[in-house]
Each structure stands twice: as structure tokens, then as C-alpha cells.
Amino acid sequence: MDTETPPNFRPGTDAFRWDGVAYQPYKQDGEAPFKDISRQTLFHDDALACELRYFEMDDKGYSTLERHEHAHAVMILRGSGQCMVGEEVRDVRQFDLVTIPAWTWHQFRATAGEAFGFLCMVNMTRDRPVLPSEDDLGRMRANPAVAAFLGS
Amino acid sequence: MDTETPPNFRPGTDAFRWDGVAYQPYKQDGEAPFKDISRQTLFHDDALACELRYFEMDDKGYSTLERHEHAHAVMILRGSGQCMVGEEVRDVRQFDLVTIPAWTWHQFRATAGEAFGFLCMVNMTRDRPVLPSEDDLGRMRANPAVAAFLGS
């Protein structure tokens, strides 16, 4: 991340990139728990107690299936797709709001044949995400909607 | 504001309103330092150190001209208009980013003949805004771009 103070005005582009914001494609290999997702940190400022990030997935991409103590506040910004929060799986689209409470398994998937992007507000100080064990995955898959969402 | 915990999924509407989010038109009279602006608090959660609000102005509306110690992190979400941050006045449009640093005079104006809305991330714990004195306004108007933005 840039440590320089960004200018007060940072225009966006039609491609959901921003002047002065680093585009960070996630490195991935066969073991990666996510697919075809990028991050742009839109606001990271010592004067603010939260960060605002923008994540975007290509078609068929997905975010990491994870949980943690800290909460997320999400607004879908681009396209549509699906989101799992605990036992709930929903179709979501531009400008919908999603709350991820503490210690709740969650994942976003670009299931609608298009790029799918969302804003995520999160506390600057936060714990590290936890990935599911095989036992956790087995318990999640007991819910048919979750099993269908997670795929094979 | 609702004190009940909102559901994890809150769909938006095409009119930039959200299920389960109170629409708060600002009360105004001849003395009000703002015009035709509404607020919707999208995220207000004890687990989060910031709030995310959505402000919207009708054509020719404007936000309060103010400053304060706390910072704002803004993304334009609807339409286009103008924004003043200190000595800078800029045209801004959907998805542009604006940072309002501490103690910087700022205002948003719907100057483009359309509704103009923005997301604003702000620390949950913050100081109260200060309004400009006549002396402050005189100093601001010494900058021609600011004077034109503020109008008569």
C-alpha cells in the first residue's frame, strides 16, 4: 500500500479502478482458498477507525470462505452474484447491503456470468481470518442451500 | 435510528433506498444551513468503529458548509455534482472518491441538474461540526473558485 497521503479527490474510471489506488490481484495457485479476486484499498487513513476496500471477482471467481471476530459491512457495487452469511445464501446485486456478524462463515461468489464487486468496511484493528477445517465444511454442507453454494 | 439489529441482507431499490433503513429528510427552514438533503444510515453497529451513511440532495440542494476534527471518507454513489474541500472545488461523479481531512471546510452541491448522492464513512465517536462565522466566510470568498461555488 502507498504510504503517501493520497490527494483529496480521486476520480474513478468506468472499469471500477481509481486514480491513486493500487490494484492488487490476489496471488493464487492450486491451493488458494479464493479465485480470480482483486482488492483495492480505497480509504486507509490514521484519522479513520475503519478501512474501505473494494473487492472484485471475475465470472466464476469467489472470495475466501472464512470467519473472524471482526464484522464486515458490505455494499455490492458492481454486477450481481451470490453471498453466503452463516446458513443464509442469497442472490445479491448492485447497491444491496450485507452485514457479516462476528464469527460467521461467509463467502461471495460471481455466479451470474459477470464481474461482481463489493465495498467492504472493516475496523482498522482486527483479528486474522480463520479458514474452515474439514469438520467445519462437513457441518456447513449439512445445509443443502449451503452445499449447493459451495459446490463440489 | 432503529435500535433493533437489522437482518444480514438488506436489498436496495432503484431509488437509492434500502429495506430496513430509515429515510431521514433533514428538517429545514429559512435559517437551515443545508437544502433538500436526506440521510440514510446504512451501517451503525457496535461491532464497527465507523458508520456508513448515504446522503442525497435534490437538484440544487446542498449539504451543510462545515468543518470538524473528524475526517470523512466519501464515495459519490449517484449522479454528479460539485464538492468543495478547503480551497479545492471539483466536479465529481458516480464512484469518485473524496477525502475530507480534519478541520477542512467542505460542502457538496447538486449543480448538475440531477439528484446527487454520496456514501460517507465516519468514525462512530466524533466531534460536532462547526459552522463558519461571517469572518470565515469572508476569508473563503477571497478564493474566486470558492466564491463561485458558494454563490451569493
Its pTM stands at: 0.94
Query: For residue B116, what are the β-bridge partners?
Result: B57
Does a structural domain hold residue A19? no
- pLDDT tens-digit readout, B78-122: 999 999 999 999 999 999 999 999 999 999 999 999 999 999 999
Q: How far apart are CA B26 and CA B40, in angstroms?
A: 11
Domain for residue A100, yes or no?
yes
Residues 6+ apart with CB under 8 A from B67: B103, B104, B105, B106, B129, B130, B132
CB A23 within 8 A of CB A47: no
Task: Identify whether B15 is part of a domain.
Answer: no
The gap between the terminal CA atoms of chain B, to the nearest Å, is 35
Q: Is residue B13 part of a domain?
A: no
Q: Which is nearest to B52 in space by CA: A43, A35, A7?
A: A43
What's the count of helices (H) and strands (E) in chain A, helices before strands?
Answer: 2, 10
- Structural domain count of chain B: 1
The complex scores an ipTM of 0.93
A71 inside domain:
yes
Q: What is the pLDDT of residue A1?
A: 46
Q: Which of B12, B43, B50 sits opposite A96 (nearest CB)?
A: B12
Instruction: CATH number of the domain at A69, please.
Output: 2.60.120.10
Least CB–CB distance from B121: residue in A7, A50, A98:
A50
**Using CB atoms within 10 A of its CB, is residue B129 exposed (0-12), middle (13-18) or buried (19+)?**
middle
Residue of B6, B48, B95 lying closest to A50 (CB–CB): B48
Q: How far is B26 from chain A (nearest CA, A)?
A: 23
- The residues of B annotated as belonging to the active site are 120
In which residue are the cell numbers 439489529 written?
B5
Residue type for position A116: F
Task: Give me the domain span that covers residue B35.
Answer: 24-150
Per-residue pLDDT of B21-71, as tens digits, reads: 999 987 776 667 888 999 999 999 999 999 999 999 999 999 999 999 999
Give the span between the Cα atoms of A149 and B118, in whole angstroms: 33
Contacts of B98 in chain A (CB under 8 A): 8-10
Assess if residue A34 is contained within a domain. yes
Q: Is the pLDDT of residue B123 over 70?
A: yes
**Residues in chain A closer than 8 A to B83 (CB atoms):** 9
Alpha carbons within 13 angstroms on the beta-carbon side of residue B10 total 22
Q: Around A141, how many Cα atoms within 13 Å sit in the side-chain half-sphere?
A: 10
**pLDDT tens-digit readout, B132-149:** 999 999 999 999 999 999
B100 inside domain: yes
Q: How far is A30 from chain B (nearest CA, A)?
A: 32
Which residues in chain A are contacts of B49 at CB distance < 8 A?
A: 49-50, 123-125
Q: Tell me, yes or no, whether B6 lies in a domain.
A: no
Residue with cell 445479491: A92
Interchain CB distance below 8 Å, B9 and A121: no
pLDDT one digit per residue (tens) for chain A, 152 residues: 445 677 999 999 989 999 889 999 877 766 678 889 999 999 999 999 999 999 999 999 999 999 999 999 999 999 999 999 999 999 999 999 999 999 999 999 999 999 999 999 999 999 999 999 999 999 999 999 999 999 97
CB B89 within 8 A of CB B65: no
Tell whether A129 lies on the interface with B, counting CB pairs under 8 A: no
B1: pLDDT strictly greater than 50 = no
CA distances for A126 relative to A49, A102, B47, angstroms: 11, 11, 11
Find chain A residues with C-beta within 8 A of B90's C-beta: 9
Query: Which grid coordinates belong to A58?
Result: 471475475
Please work out, in degrees rounded to the nearest 5, the angle formed at the alpha carbon of residue A47 by the alpha carbons of B137 and B149. 25
Q: Cβ distance A143 to A84 under 8 Å?
A: no
3-state secondary structure at position A50: strand
Count chain A–chain B contacts defined by CB atoms under 8 A: 134
